[in-house]
Amino acid sequence: MLLSTFGWTAFFEQRSTALREQGLEFGRVSWLSRGVYNLYTERDQRLARLSGRFYHHATLASELPAVGDWVAFRERHNACIIQAVLPRHSKFSRKVPGLTTEEQLLAANVDKAFLVTALDNDYNLRRIERYLAIAWESGAQPIVILNKADLCADVATRVAEAQRVTIGAPVYSISSLTGEGLLQLEREIAPAQTVAMLGSSGVGKTTLINRLLGKDAFATHPVRVGDDRGHHTTTARSLILLPSGALVMDTPGLRELQIWESDEGLERTFDEIETFAAQCAFSDCAHVTEPRCAVRAAVEQGRLSAARLENFRKLQRELSYLERRQDVSAQLAAKRRWRSINKAMRNFDKRG
């Protein structure tokens, strides 16, 4: 099959020349497990491993191949050895869960991000805003999917609420169970395009993928009665070729989604706040106690939701804290590197 079947575009062709001149072939990572990568290639699907040189020269986990990445490989003794990862045109990242300050790459080279939420107890406008900020930052086009419309008594009201906070991103209400709204959603997916499914456990991502495949290829589990919390039906990311020719990336349910870098994402998600802020009396207005604050005035006049402004502030604080942690981590890494260099120099002097 042609590489274009799996999303190869002029972007990757322009960045592959030097690698191609080295006699390397190209494939796209469809899943990985314990250091083994499954690749879509021109000939067939191939299993591959990283070259030792590549693995040991990668200083960050995000530099290693992720699902959706295009890689250059060489075949040796009937084994595929990955030599390099091609530049990404988009990446969906979060901070790793917990206290560690490190990037976790969720998806690479995604064209559209389906941000799936359910119209049950999972429905949360503030969470949708968080997903949107990360999606806009990724470089992919976000599309908000309100699933389980069959469980909602007033779908139109929920859609209108979501549309007020999803500036620039379309909103679709669907039911993966009954098929309601799927035809309209399928029009958003073109052959060779990559769509990532992102959302909490239990929102119906796997059921939706089964619908798009036209068969129950992946197991699903019912959510818990009482709190609508789902099981992790999907335990690993995978890239699936649909009958339509599009590619869909299934991802495990996200219980925690901390932003990694979202300056532009916050601006896109909260565009109207940025517009109001431009009218504040002071350019550095924090919209808290400053006089003649246009943002607070918009809240008082009912033109801006107080909850939306508070979520904007919360995400800004989270991003600022993360940036400070990243600076500290970079300083500690530099100190460790210099200690290693100095130790090596002392040992060299002793040998001399």
Domain assignment present for 345: yes
Q: Say yes or no: 221 and 322 in one domain.
A: no
pLDDT higher for 222 or 328?
A: 222
Q: Say yes or no: 228 and 301 in one domain.
A: no
Which of 85, 117, 149 delimits the end of a domain? 85
Contact present, 133 and 259 (Cβ < 8 Å): yes
Show contacts of 18-22: CB within 8 Å, 24+ apart. Answer: 19/72, 19/83, 19/84, 19/86, 22/72, 22/83
Q: pLDDT of 47-79, one tens digit each? A: 999 999 998 888 888 899 999 999 999 998 888
Q: How far is CA 65 from CA 55, 70, 96, 247, in A?
A: 10, 8, 17, 18
Q: Say yes or no: 306 and 188 in one domain.
A: no
Q: Say yes or no: 147 and 217 in one domain.
A: yes
- Which residue segment(s) compose the domain that 283 sits in? 270-352
Domain assignment present for 33: yes
Q: Say yes or no: 282 and 352 in one domain.
A: yes
Q: pLDDT of 328-350, one tens digit each? A: 454 444 455 555 545 555 554 55
Answer yes or no: is pLDDT of 234 > 60.
no
pLDDT higher for 36 or 100?
A: 36
Q: Structurally, how many domains does the chain consist of?
A: 3
Query: Helical H runs in the chain?
Result: 10-14, 17-21, 52-57, 125-138, 155-165, 182-186, 205-213, 263-269, 271-277, 294-300, 306-351
Spatial separation of the C-alpha atoms in residues 16 and 18, rounded to whole Å: 6
Q: Say yes or no: 69 and 116 in one domain.
A: no
Strands 141-147, 171-173: parallel, antiparallel or unpaired by DSSP? parallel
Answer yes or no: is pLDDT of 282 > 50.
yes
- The CA-based diameter of the chain, rounded to the nearest angstrom, is 81
Query: Helical H runs in 270-305?
Result: 271-277, 294-300
The predicted pLDDT at position 299 comes to: 95
Q: Say yes or no: 100 and 217 in one domain.
A: yes
The tokens describing 176, both together, are: 């993966």
Domain assignment present for 264: no
Q: Say yes or no: 159 and 283 in one domain.
A: no
The predicted pLDDT at position 334 comes to: 46
Domain assignment present for 108: yes
The enclosing H or E element of 196 equals strand 194-198
Determine if the pTM surpasses 0.85: no
Q: pLDDT of 289-313, one tens digit each? A: 899 999 999 999 999 999 999 999 9
Q: Say yes or no: 173 and 298 in one domain.
A: no
Percentage of residues in the chain having pLDDT higher than 90: 57
Residue 189 DSSP code: -
Which of 198, 220, 250 delimits the end of a domain? 250
Average of pLDDT values for 254-272?
A: 74
Domain assignment present for 66: yes
How much is the mean pLDDT over the chain?
A: 84
Q: Say yes or no: 114 and 238 in one domain.
A: yes
pLDDT higher for 157 or 228?
A: 157
Q: pLDDT of 169-214, one tens digit each? A: 999 999 999 999 999 999 999 999 999 998 888 898 889 999 999 8
Answer yes or no: is pLDDT of 215 > 90.
no
Answer yes or no: is pLDDT of 320 > 90.
no
- Residue 351: which CATH number? 1.10.40.50
Domain assignment present for 10: yes
